[in-house]
A = this chain, B = another copy of it.
Protein backbone atom coordinates (compact mmCIF):
# COMPACT_ATOMS: atom_id res chain seq x y z
CA UNK A 1 0.00 0.00 0.00
CA UNK A 2 1.24 3.47 -0.87
CA UNK A 3 1.98 6.06 1.81
CA UNK A 4 -1.17 7.90 2.87
CA UNK A 5 -1.78 11.43 4.10
CA UNK A 6 -5.07 11.08 5.92
CA UNK A 7 -8.47 9.45 6.04
CA UNK A 8 -11.33 11.77 5.11
CA UNK A 9 -14.67 10.85 6.67
CA UNK A 10 -18.09 12.25 5.83
CA UNK A 11 -20.17 10.98 8.76
CA UNK A 12 -23.78 12.05 8.52
CA UNK A 13 -27.10 11.10 10.02
CA UNK A 14 -27.64 7.99 7.91
CA UNK A 15 -24.24 7.07 6.45
CA UNK A 16 -20.49 7.08 6.84
CA UNK A 17 -18.27 7.60 3.79
CA UNK A 18 -14.51 7.29 4.17
CA UNK A 19 -11.70 7.97 1.69
CA UNK A 20 -8.05 7.07 2.00
CA UNK A 21 -6.26 10.11 0.65
CA UNK A 22 -2.67 9.82 -0.52
CA UNK A 23 0.04 12.46 -0.05
CA UNK A 24 -0.63 13.66 -3.61
CA UNK A 25 -4.32 14.19 -2.79
CA UNK A 26 -5.46 11.23 -4.86
CA UNK A 27 -8.01 8.85 -3.37
CA UNK A 28 -6.44 5.43 -2.94
CA UNK A 29 -9.52 3.66 -1.60
CA UNK A 30 -13.04 4.35 -0.36
CA UNK A 31 -15.40 2.72 2.12
CA UNK A 32 -19.05 3.18 2.99
CA UNK A 33 -21.19 2.00 5.88
CA UNK A 34 -24.78 2.44 7.05
CA UNK A 35 -23.52 3.36 10.51
CA UNK A 36 -24.91 6.88 10.42
CA UNK A 37 -25.09 8.91 13.61
CA UNK A 38 -28.73 7.96 14.12
CA UNK A 39 -27.84 4.25 14.30
CA UNK A 40 -24.70 4.36 16.44
CA UNK A 41 -25.25 3.92 20.18
CA UNK A 42 -23.33 6.02 22.69
CA UNK A 43 -19.85 4.55 22.98
CA UNK A 44 -20.14 2.80 19.65
CA UNK A 45 -18.23 5.32 17.55
CA UNK A 46 -14.67 3.92 17.88
CA UNK A 47 -15.87 0.49 16.78
CA UNK A 48 -17.94 1.94 13.91
CA UNK A 49 -14.95 3.86 12.58
CA UNK A 50 -12.73 0.85 13.01
CA UNK A 51 -15.16 -1.38 11.14
CA UNK A 52 -15.08 0.98 8.16
CA UNK A 53 -11.34 1.69 8.11
CA UNK A 54 -9.60 -1.32 9.73
CA UNK A 55 -7.45 -2.32 6.72
CA UNK A 56 -6.23 1.25 6.33
CA UNK A 57 -5.39 1.51 10.01
CA UNK A 58 -3.46 -1.75 9.76
CA UNK A 59 -1.48 -0.51 6.78
CA UNK A 60 -0.94 3.03 8.11
CA UNK A 61 -0.97 2.84 11.92
CA UNK A 62 -0.35 6.57 12.43
CA UNK A 63 -2.65 7.94 9.76
CA UNK A 64 -4.74 10.88 10.98
CA UNK A 65 -8.50 10.99 10.48
CA UNK A 66 -10.51 14.12 9.68
CA UNK A 67 -14.30 13.87 9.95
CA UNK A 68 -17.13 16.23 9.06
CA UNK A 69 -20.89 16.10 9.58
CA UNK A 70 -23.32 15.14 12.30
CA UNK A 71 -20.63 13.03 14.00
CA UNK A 72 -19.81 16.34 15.69
CA UNK A 73 -23.36 16.99 16.91
CA UNK A 74 -24.74 16.58 20.42
CA UNK A 75 -25.83 13.04 19.51
CA UNK A 76 -22.55 12.28 17.74
CA UNK A 77 -19.17 11.05 18.96
CA UNK A 78 -18.05 14.33 20.49
CA UNK A 79 -19.93 17.62 20.35
CA UNK A 80 -17.73 19.88 18.29
CA UNK A 81 -18.15 23.64 18.76
CA UNK A 82 -19.49 26.01 16.11
CA UNK A 83 -17.03 28.35 14.45
CA UNK A 84 -18.55 31.81 13.98
CA UNK A 85 -19.01 33.47 10.58
CA UNK A 86 -17.06 34.65 8.70
CA UNK A 87 -15.30 31.28 8.56
CA UNK A 88 -12.80 30.11 5.96
CA UNK A 89 -10.49 27.10 5.91
CA UNK A 90 -8.07 28.76 8.33
CA UNK A 91 -10.71 29.63 10.92
CA UNK A 92 -12.27 26.19 10.65
CA UNK A 93 -8.94 24.39 10.82
CA UNK A 94 -8.15 26.37 13.97
CA UNK A 95 -11.31 25.00 15.64
CA UNK A 96 -10.88 21.30 14.91
CA UNK A 97 -12.18 19.17 17.74
CA UNK A 98 -9.91 16.33 18.86
CA UNK A 99 -11.62 13.07 19.80
CA UNK A 100 -10.02 11.99 23.08
CA UNK A 101 -10.98 8.31 23.16
CA UNK A 102 -10.07 7.38 19.57
CA UNK A 103 -6.72 5.76 20.28
CA UNK A 104 -5.31 7.65 17.28
CA UNK A 105 -5.41 11.16 15.78
CA UNK A 106 -9.08 11.73 15.01
CA UNK A 107 -10.39 15.26 14.55
CA UNK A 108 -13.86 16.59 13.83
CA UNK A 109 -14.54 19.66 11.70
CA UNK A 110 -16.52 22.22 13.74
CA UNK A 111 -19.95 23.31 12.61
CA UNK A 112 -20.44 26.94 11.69
CA UNK A 113 -22.91 29.35 13.26
CA UNK A 114 -24.32 32.58 11.89
CA UNK A 115 -25.79 35.29 14.12
CA UNK A 116 -27.91 37.65 12.01
CA UNK A 117 -28.36 41.28 13.06
CA UNK A 118 -32.14 40.70 13.26
CA UNK A 119 -31.65 37.99 15.89
CA UNK A 120 -32.01 34.99 13.58
CA UNK A 121 -29.57 32.21 14.33
CA UNK A 122 -28.35 29.49 12.00
CA UNK A 123 -26.15 26.47 12.43
CA UNK A 124 -24.77 23.82 10.11
CA UNK A 125 -22.61 20.73 10.31
CA UNK A 126 -21.10 19.26 7.18
CA UNK A 127 -22.25 21.92 4.73
CA UNK A 128 -19.35 24.19 5.76
CA UNK A 129 -16.98 21.53 4.46
CA UNK A 130 -18.93 21.21 1.21
CA UNK A 131 -18.96 24.97 0.77
CA UNK A 132 -15.18 25.16 1.11
CA UNK A 133 -14.89 22.20 -1.24
CA UNK A 134 -16.63 24.02 -4.08
CA UNK A 135 -13.69 26.40 -4.31
CA UNK A 136 -16.10 29.31 -4.76
CA UNK A 137 -14.44 32.41 -3.32
CA UNK A 138 -17.25 34.90 -3.91
CA UNK A 139 -20.79 33.83 -4.67
CA UNK A 140 -24.00 32.24 -3.47
CA UNK A 141 -24.31 28.50 -2.85
CA UNK A 142 -27.48 26.45 -2.60
CA UNK A 143 -27.31 23.10 -0.80
CA UNK A 144 -30.81 21.54 -0.92
CA UNK A 145 -31.80 19.03 1.72
CA UNK A 146 -33.97 18.24 4.70
CA UNK A 147 -32.66 21.53 6.03
CA UNK A 148 -31.53 23.33 2.89
CA UNK A 149 -28.71 25.83 3.26
CA UNK A 150 -27.92 28.96 1.27
CA UNK A 151 -24.35 30.03 1.87
CA UNK A 152 -22.75 33.30 0.90
CA UNK A 153 -19.00 33.17 0.21
CA UNK A 154 -16.84 36.30 0.43
CA UNK A 155 -13.07 36.21 -0.09
CA UNK A 156 -13.10 32.43 0.21
CA UNK A 157 -14.85 32.49 3.56
CA UNK A 158 -18.43 31.64 4.61
CA UNK A 159 -19.74 35.12 5.35
CA UNK A 160 -23.44 34.37 6.05
CA UNK A 161 -25.87 31.50 5.61
CA UNK A 162 -29.50 30.61 6.21
CA UNK A 163 -31.48 27.43 6.69
CA UNK A 164 -34.81 26.51 5.11
CA UNK A 165 -36.73 23.44 6.32
CA UNK A 166 -37.64 22.48 2.78
CA UNK A 167 -37.17 18.72 2.76
CA UNK A 168 -38.60 18.36 6.24
CA UNK A 169 -41.68 20.39 5.37
CA UNK A 170 -42.22 18.47 2.15
CA UNK A 171 -42.18 15.18 4.05
CA UNK A 172 -44.50 16.54 6.73
CA UNK A 173 -47.14 17.96 4.39
CA UNK A 174 -46.97 14.98 2.04
CA UNK A 175 -48.00 12.82 4.97
CA UNK A 176 -50.59 15.34 6.14
CA UNK A 177 -54.07 16.24 4.94
CA UNK A 178 -53.19 18.54 2.04
CA UNK A 179 -51.09 15.74 0.57
CA UNK A 180 -53.75 13.10 0.97
CA UNK A 181 -55.15 13.28 -2.56
CA UNK A 182 -51.72 12.39 -4.01
CA UNK A 183 -51.52 9.23 -6.07
CA UNK A 184 -48.59 7.17 -7.30
CA UNK A 185 -46.63 7.37 -9.47
CA UNK A 186 -45.86 10.94 -8.42
CA UNK A 187 -44.80 11.88 -11.90
CA UNK A 188 -47.14 14.47 -13.40
CA UNK A 189 -44.88 17.42 -14.28
CA UNK A 190 -47.96 19.65 -14.68
CA UNK A 191 -48.10 19.65 -10.88
CA UNK A 192 -44.71 21.37 -10.65
CA UNK A 193 -45.67 23.90 -13.31
CA UNK A 194 -48.89 24.71 -11.47
CA UNK A 195 -46.93 25.16 -8.24
CA UNK A 196 -44.62 27.70 -9.88
CA UNK A 197 -47.76 29.73 -10.66
CA UNK A 198 -49.43 29.11 -7.32
CA UNK A 199 -46.34 30.37 -5.48
CA UNK A 200 -46.68 33.85 -6.99
CA UNK A 201 -50.01 35.29 -5.76
CA UNK A 202 -50.06 37.05 -2.40
CA UNK A 203 -51.12 35.07 0.63
CA UNK A 204 -47.94 33.18 1.37
CA UNK A 205 -47.03 29.53 1.71
CA UNK A 206 -49.79 28.39 4.07
CA UNK A 207 -52.34 29.68 1.57
CA UNK A 208 -50.62 28.12 -1.44
CA UNK A 209 -50.30 24.74 0.31
CA UNK A 210 -54.08 24.42 0.44
CA UNK A 211 -54.10 24.59 -3.35
CA UNK A 212 -52.62 21.05 -3.37
CA UNK A 213 -56.03 19.92 -2.20
CA UNK A 214 -58.44 22.51 -3.60
CA UNK A 215 -57.10 22.27 -7.15
CA UNK A 216 -57.59 18.52 -7.17
CA UNK A 217 -61.18 19.00 -6.03
CA UNK A 218 -61.55 21.71 -8.67
CA UNK A 219 -60.08 19.52 -11.40
CA UNK A 220 -56.97 21.66 -12.14
CA UNK A 221 -54.46 19.26 -10.64
CA UNK A 222 -54.19 15.51 -11.21
CA UNK A 223 -53.58 13.29 -8.16
CA UNK A 224 -50.28 12.21 -9.73
CA UNK A 225 -49.23 15.85 -9.74
CA UNK A 226 -49.87 16.56 -6.04
CA UNK A 227 -46.39 15.55 -4.81
CA UNK A 228 -44.61 17.43 -7.64
CA UNK A 229 -46.85 20.41 -6.79
CA UNK A 230 -45.96 20.34 -3.10
CA UNK A 231 -42.27 19.81 -3.76
CA UNK A 232 -41.96 22.68 -6.21
CA UNK A 233 -44.11 24.99 -4.09
CA UNK A 234 -41.89 24.59 -1.04
CA UNK A 235 -38.75 24.93 -3.16
CA UNK A 236 -40.16 28.15 -4.65
CA UNK A 237 -40.70 29.48 -1.13
CA UNK A 238 -37.09 28.66 -0.28
CA UNK A 239 -35.66 30.30 -3.39
CA UNK A 240 -37.80 33.42 -2.98
CA UNK A 241 -36.73 33.65 0.65
CA UNK A 242 -33.05 33.16 -0.17
CA UNK A 243 -33.06 35.82 -2.88
CA UNK A 244 -34.77 38.20 -0.45
CA UNK A 245 -32.08 37.52 2.12
CA UNK A 246 -28.96 37.49 -0.05
CA UNK A 247 -29.98 39.46 -3.11
CA UNK A 248 -30.08 38.15 -6.65
CA UNK A 249 -26.76 36.60 -7.75
CA UNK A 250 -25.46 36.24 -11.31
CA UNK A 251 -25.15 32.51 -10.79
CA UNK A 252 -26.23 29.99 -8.19
CA UNK A 253 -23.68 27.34 -7.21
CA UNK A 254 -25.83 24.26 -6.68
CA UNK A 255 -24.55 21.37 -4.57
CA UNK A 256 -27.16 18.64 -5.02
CA UNK A 257 -27.91 15.14 -6.20
CA UNK A 258 -31.07 14.05 -7.94
CA UNK A 259 -33.97 14.69 -7.76
CA UNK A 260 -33.15 18.02 -6.07
CA UNK A 261 -30.75 19.07 -8.81
CA UNK A 262 -33.45 18.93 -11.49
CA UNK A 263 -36.11 20.57 -9.31
CA UNK A 264 -33.84 23.46 -8.31
CA UNK A 265 -32.41 23.90 -11.81
CA UNK A 266 -35.94 24.22 -13.22
CA UNK A 267 -37.05 26.69 -10.57
CA UNK A 268 -33.87 28.78 -10.87
CA UNK A 269 -33.96 28.75 -14.67
CA UNK A 270 -37.51 30.12 -14.64
CA UNK A 271 -36.19 33.05 -12.65
CA UNK A 272 -33.48 33.59 -15.22
CA UNK A 273 -30.70 32.46 -12.90
CA UNK A 274 -27.70 30.54 -14.22
CA UNK A 275 -26.68 27.45 -12.31
CA UNK A 276 -23.34 25.75 -11.81
CA UNK A 277 -23.55 22.17 -10.57
CA UNK A 278 -21.37 20.48 -8.00
CA UNK A 279 -21.33 16.87 -6.91
CA UNK A 280 -21.92 16.49 -3.17
CA UNK A 281 -19.45 13.66 -2.35
CA UNK A 282 -16.79 15.35 -4.48
CA UNK A 283 -17.05 18.73 -2.75
CA UNK A 284 -17.18 17.09 0.68
CA UNK A 285 -13.90 15.31 -0.02
CA UNK A 286 -12.39 18.46 -1.53
CA UNK A 287 -13.47 20.43 1.55
CA UNK A 288 -11.84 17.93 3.92
CA UNK A 289 -8.62 18.13 1.89
CA UNK A 290 -8.73 21.92 2.03
CA UNK A 291 -9.20 21.93 5.78
CA UNK A 292 -6.46 19.31 6.24
CA UNK A 293 -4.12 21.46 4.17
CA UNK A 294 -5.00 24.60 6.14
CA UNK A 295 -4.09 22.74 9.31
CA UNK A 296 -0.54 21.98 8.37
Binding site for B on A (CB under 8 A): 113, 116, 118-123, 146-147, 162-166, 168-169, 171-173, 175-178, 197-198, 200-211, 214-215, 217-218, 220, 234, 237-238, 240-242, 244-245
Give bound CA distance, A211 to B242, whole Å.
15
| Chain A, interface SS category | helix
Evaluate contact between B172 and A176: CB separation under 8 angstroms. Answer: yes
Q: List 15 A-B contacts (CB under 8 A).
A: A119-B198, A120-B203, A122-B214, A162-B203, A163-B210, A163-B214, A168-B178, A169-B206, A172-B172, A172-B173, A172-B176, A203-B245, A206-B241, A207-B241, A207-B245
CB closest chain-B residue, reference A211: B120
A164 neighbours in B (Cβ, 8 Å): 203-204, 206-207, 210
Which 9 pairs from chain A and chain B are nearest by CB? A204-B241, A202-B244, A172-B172, A203-B241, A163-B210, A121-B218, A118-B201, A164-B206, A172-B176
Q: How far is the CB of A296 from chain B (nearest CB, A)?
A: 31
In the complex, A240 Cα to B238 Cα: how many Å?
A: 18
Could you tell me if A220 and B121 are in contact, using CB atoms closer than 8 angstroms?
yes
* Chain B residue contacts of A234, Cβ below 8 A: 206
Please report the C-alpha to C-alpha distance between residue A274 and residue B260 in the assembled complex, in whole angstroms.
Answer: 44
